[in-house]
């Protein structure tokens, strides 16, 4: 391939980890799954070929056993709870939120309890008791109550805060352009972000690096990035792709 340019910084950084006899920890979270679609098949094909474990954040209110039946054929896919219905309760001038302060805490928590029960019923052992708040946002006051509702882990975007009342397994590199700009994110920018996270972990490896994708809205550029990322990293002695289950056990 002659489009190596954007990937050279990643190669250099992974070489550094390899030379130090260390392995960076990566994990993959993909959001918004409800049903089996061509794009979901595309994702399962890409992760399966590269043997990259996947955590699929599923929207409980709208999914059914068709997805569970399909995922039963996969052995490296876990399911997490993506809110309840992914509805936005924020007003037009606020950032979108399902789990915000717009409704009573008891209402939100009972939806989340339902969501966990629904996905556990559908997916059994494949379900990891992880809450992935829609839009990566949750009212901080709800977090201390999540354990009581059966959740063991919270996953949002960005570096984790210290002293959280629940275990946290976050994502740090968002492959899809979610900030409202037009077009896809450049591969050079995405690689630079990933390299920045790797450099920080080289100094202090305090949390695995989470890659975040949204298969339903991927275009050619996003798929190419993911395929190439897997080519560059899967089997590399300086990095390991881990399942959420392994990272939490
Ligand atoms: Zn979502």
The pLDDT of 117-121, averaged and rounded, is: 98
Burial of 69 (0-12, 13-18, 19+ CB in 10 A): exposed
For residue 45, report the distance from its CA to the centre of ligand 1, in Å: 21
According to the model, what pLDDT value does residue 183 have? 82
According to the model, what pLDDT value does residue 180 have? 61
According to the model, what pLDDT value does residue 162 have? 79
Token pair for 246 = 């392994």
Task: Please determine, for residue 127, whether its predicted confidence score (pLDDT) is greater than 60.
Answer: yes
Band of pLDDT at residue 61, cut at 50, 70 and 90: very high
Domains by residue range for the chain, with CATH: 5-14+23-248 (3.20.20.370)
Band of pLDDT at residue 177, cut at 50, 70 and 90: confident
For residue 50, report the distance from its CA to the centre of ligand 1, in Å: 24
Token pair for 58 = 């599923």
Alpha-carbon distance of 105 to 139, in angstroms, equals 9
According to the model, what pLDDT value does residue 161 have? 85
Task: Please determine, for residue 132, whether its predicted confidence score (pLDDT) is greater than 70.
Answer: yes
Q: Is the pTM of this model over 0.95?
A: yes
Alpha-carbon distance of 34 to 59, in angstroms, equals 6
For residue 13, report the distance from its CA to the centre of ligand 1, in Å: 31
Residues with a beta carbon under 5 angstroms from ion ligand 1: 31-32, 134
According to the model, what pLDDT value does residue 147 have? 97
The pLDDT of 216-241, averaged and rounded, is: 97
* % of the chain residues with pLDDT over 70: 97
Whether 27 contacts 242, CB under 8 Å: yes
Whether 167 contacts 133, CB under 8 Å: no
The pLDDT of 188-192, averaged and rounded, is: 97
pLDDT in tens, 33-43: 999 999 999 99
For residue 135, report the distance from its CA to the centre of ligand 1, in Å: 6
Greatest Cα-to-Cα distance within the chain, rounded to the nearest angstrom: 55
Task: Please determine, for residue 1, whether its predicted confidence score (pLDDT) is greater than 60.
Answer: no
* Sequential DSSP letters for 161-181: PTT-SSEE--B-EE-S--SS-
For residue 21, report the distance from its CA to the centre of ligand 1, in Å: 37
pLDDT in tens, 98-114: 999 999 999 999 999 99
According to the model, what pLDDT value does residue 3 have? 81
Alpha-carbon distance of 20 to 132, in angstroms, equals 34
For residue 162, report the distance from its CA to the centre of ligand 1, in Å: 24
């Amino acid at each position: 391939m002659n489009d190596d340019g954007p990937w050279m910084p990643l190669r250099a950084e992974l070489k550094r980890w390899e030379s130090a006899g260390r392995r960076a920890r990566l994990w993959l979270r993909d959001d918004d799954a409800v049903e089996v679609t061509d794009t979901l098949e595309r994702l399962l094909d890409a992760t399966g070929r590269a043997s990259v474990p996947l955590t699929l954040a599923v929207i409980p209110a709208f999914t059914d056993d068709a997805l569970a039946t399909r995922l039963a054929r996969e052995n490296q896919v876990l399911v997490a709870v993506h809110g309840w219905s992914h509805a936005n309760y924020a007003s037009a001038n606020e950032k979108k939120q399902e789990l915000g302060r717009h409704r009573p805490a008891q209402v939100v928590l009972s939806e989340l309890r339902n969501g966990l029960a629904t996905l556990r019923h559908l997916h059994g052992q494949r379900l990891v008791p992880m809450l992935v708040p829609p839009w990566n946002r949750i009212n901080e006051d709800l977090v201390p109550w999540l354990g009581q509702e059966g959740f063991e882990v919270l996953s949002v975007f960005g570096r984790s805060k210290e002293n959280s009342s629940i275990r946290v397994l976050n994502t740090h590199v968002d492959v899809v352009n979610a900030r409202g700009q037009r077009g896809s994110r450049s591969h050079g920018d995405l690689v630079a972000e990933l390299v920045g996270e790797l450099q920080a972990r080289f100094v202090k490896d305090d949390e695995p690096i989470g890659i975040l994708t949204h298969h339903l809205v991927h275009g050619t550029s996003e798929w190419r990035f993911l395929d190439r990322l897997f080519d560059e990293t899967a089997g590399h002695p300086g990095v390991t792709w881990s399942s959420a289950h392994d990272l939490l056990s």
